Amino acid sequence: MIPIPKPGTKVSTKDAVAICNAHGKTELARRLQDNLDRLPAEWLFDGCSYWLQIWRKHPIYQVCFWHDIAYLIGGSEAQRMEADLELALGIVRMTGSIDFAMMMFAGVRFAGDSAWKKDFSWGYGQTAA
């Protein structure tokens, strides 16, 4: 199994396709592949952007990796909601804390809006290409 990169790692977008496929994230891999010409060749995985990487001994950055890839690609508002809900569900599964997951969900819903045009906003990779 290809490991999920640790925060602070540069990830090639082509390698991200392979990582997604290896972890059964085939839809995410397809979306990456379909957008390779519009995305940067590599990007810095910063983990859970401007947030904790480990919570109560749980390495939550692993869940944030999938969320970062979805945000790199961007797409419809429905796809963004799906990515944010998957992040929250992943946090609940890893930590057992609904409150912590809901706090992260609220944070990404507000701060991740593409209108902010930040390096963590929805579709941030589309502007970097």
Q: 40 — phi, psi (to 5°)?
A: -65, 150
- What does the pLDDT read at residue 1? 83
Beta-carbon contacts of 39 under 8 Å, excluding residues fewer than 6 positions away, are 13, 32, 72, 73, 125, 126, 128, 129
pLDDT tens, per residue, the chain with 129 residues: 899 999 999 999 999 999 999 999 999 999 999 999 999 999 999 988 878 878 899 999 999 999 999 999 999 999 999 999 999 999 999 999 999 999 999 999 999 888 878 888 899 998 654
Residues 101 and 114 sit within 8 Å (Cβ to Cβ): no
pTM of the model: 0.92
How many other β-carbons are positioned within 10 Å of the β-carbon of residue 104?
Answer: 26
